[in-house]
Amino acid sequence: MKKDSEGKYSDTTVKLESLVVREVSELLEGKQTLTAFVREAVERDVRRRKMRKAAALYREVLAADPAEAKEMDAWEAAPLSAAVPRRPRRP
- Answer whether 0.75 is exceeded by the pTM: no
What is the per-residue pLDDT across 8-37, written as a single tens digit (0 to 9) for each? 777 788 899 999 999 999 999 999 999 999
What is the per-residue pLDDT across 40-65, written as a single tens digit (0 to 9) for each? 999 999 999 999 999 999 999 999 99
Cβ(69)–Cβ(63) under 8 Å? yes
Split at pLDDT 50, 70, 90, the class of 1 is low
β-bridge partners, 9: 3
Indicate whether 3 pLDDT > 90: no
Task: Show Cβ contacts of residue 4 under 8 Å, excluding neighbours closer than 6 positions.
Answer: 10
pLDDT at 2: 57
